[in-house]
Chains A and B, each alone.
Chain A
Amino acid sequence: ELKVEQNPLFLSMQEGKNYTIYCNYSTTSDRLYWYRQDPGKSLESLFVLLSNGAVKQEGRLMASLDTKARLSTLHITAAVHDLSATYFCAVGGNTGTASKLTFGTGTRLQVTL
């Protein structure tokens, strides 16, 4: 059974600081997705990583995927308050088609002034 672990579970950081969220998974997969969820809201797609070595960047967020290490990272650069939310990684299948997503526990990010 696929297991997806995120750490940390909770992250309090000051504006302007950098930090990284880690997502480890237990079985082979080359598809990993990052989502953002604001309180009481739905999941918003941030990044789609489809191959080993994939790197995507949007604003202050950058995601990468190492399929050999079964690890994805979400790096936050110079955090701002608007980034406060819960971030989930989700691992898909290995067949090139859509399949069930297994989600991590989420990392609740709080950016303080």
Chain B
Amino acid sequence: DAGVIQSPRHEVTEMGQEVTLRCKPISGHDYLFWYRQTMMRGLELLIYFNNNVPIDDSGMPEDRFSAKMPNASFSTLKIQPSEPRDSAVYFCASSTTTANYGYTFGSGTRLTVV
């Protein structure tokens, strides 16, 4: 398996622009998580899905952030409009129902908003 695949790896955008981050989970994993990592706040959960349904979005910072999972093999995290404080590394992770083998993280998207 290719693991969790995220794109793009790097994104530089101007303040006010829309940004879309993409994630393909491991086939057969029915949980998908979006995390954000910054020096100040560490690793924070933004939202997670089970069988394509959002379960907990309490970590989404504000209405500018939205996430979708239209099918079992694809999820997006959208920021509109983007702001400099959104600059961070965004990780997608997936797991099986039991998570007995852990959670597998993608390589991340480094977002810079200027």
Interface positions of A (Cβ within 8 A of B): 31, 33, 35, 41-45, 48, 50, 88, 90, 92, 96-103, 105-106
Contact = CB atoms under 8 A, between A and B. Distances in A.
B28 to A, nearest CB: 13
B102 A48 contact: yes
Nearest to B32: A98
A100 B91 contact: no
A43 B104 CA distance: 8
A98 B42 contact: no
Contacts, number: 53
Contacts of A88: 43
Nearest to B47: A100
A37 to B, nearest CB: 9
Interface in B80-106: 91, 93, 95-106
A101 B42 contact: no
A59 B46 CA distance: 34
B97 A100 contact: no
Given A43-B91, A98-B96, A100-B48, A48 B105 contact: no
Contacts of A48: 99-102
Given A48-B99, A103-B43, 11 more contacts: A31-B99, A42-B108, A45-B102, A45-B104, A45-B105, A97-B98, A99-B48, A101-B45, A102-B45, A103-B42, A105-B42
Contact of A100 (B45, B96, B100): B45
A107 to B, nearest CB: 12
17 contacts: A35-B105, A42-B105, A42-B108, A45-B102, A92-B99, A97-B97, A97-B99, A98-B31, A98-B96, A98-B98, A99-B99, A100-B48, A101-B103, A102-B45, A103-B42, A105-B42, A106-B42
